Homo-oligomer: A and B are copies of this chain.
Amino acid sequence: MRVSVVEQIMSANDQLAVANRACLDEAGVFAVNLMASPGAGKTTLITRTVEALRSRLRIGMVNGDLASTIDADRVAALGVPAVGINTGGVCHLDAAMLQSAFPQLSLVNLDVLLVENVGNLVCPAAFKLGVHRNVLIASVPEGDDKPYKYPSAYAGVDALVLNKTDVLSAFDFDMGYFRRGVQALNPGLALFPLSCKTGAGLEAWLDWLEGQVREFGNLSRN
């Protein structure tokens, strides 16, 4: 009984996710869902990404948060279209929440939509949003064992950022152990070790993201 209710909720969410994708494709917008633990650096990575790519791509944002408007305020300062979604305590974004943001964005005037999920390494992975790519942001202080302990978060994504590499020397972080865990769950996954603080490694992430957006744009126009 309980399982069947959960299945109904997931099925409804999946249908809305399909609708979201159709809406994004129609508008020609490449959407990316960014997931992470609390404090891994989602908002900071988005800020750096917008600053670097805004002259070449038209970027919009959706920022999910449990309660506050801290993230929404930070990204609003960037001056690109942004919608804050306060989930009212719900532990993830779902397809309906994302859909509710669309009317507040002029989608046809965007190339890429960055969706910042709620800080949570468990629940967001279970709710499809209808985006084109899912990205996980890990961070060095969380520890090298996280792929082994949170496999669902690592298994379903299309790219992995490892943030805060500037503090690698302050933590017992075995990069080989981390990489082996990632590869076992998600063979060939693109991994971008970087530091949003120093900027080291950011270029590879930006190149990947821009390449994905350009490829989508070319395919959409064909």
* A residues with CB within 8 A of B: 2, 5, 9, 37-39, 65-68, 70-71, 89, 91, 118-123, 139, 141-143, 145-146, 148-152, 164, 166-167, 170-171
Contact = CB atoms under 8 A, between A and B. Distances in A.
Contacts of A39: 37, 139, 141-143, 146
A5 B91 CA distance: 17
A119 B91 CA distance: 13
Number of copies: 2
Nearest to A9: B2
A101 to B, nearest CB: 19
Nearest to A65: B149
A166 B169 CA distance: 13
Given A89-B152, A122-B91, A38 B142 contact: yes
Nearest to A44: B143
Given A68-B145, A166-B170, A167-B170, 17 more contacts: A5-B5, A37-B37, A37-B119, A37-B121, A39-B139, A39-B146, A66-B149, A66-B152, A67-B151, A67-B152, A70-B149, A119-B150, A120-B123, A122-B123, A123-B123, A141-B142, A167-B171
A31 B106 CA distance: 53
Contacts of A143: 38-39
A164 B39 CA distance: 14
A70 B141 CA distance: 17
Contacts of A67: 148-152
A192 to B, nearest CB: 19
A87 to B, nearest CB: 9
Contacts of A166: 170
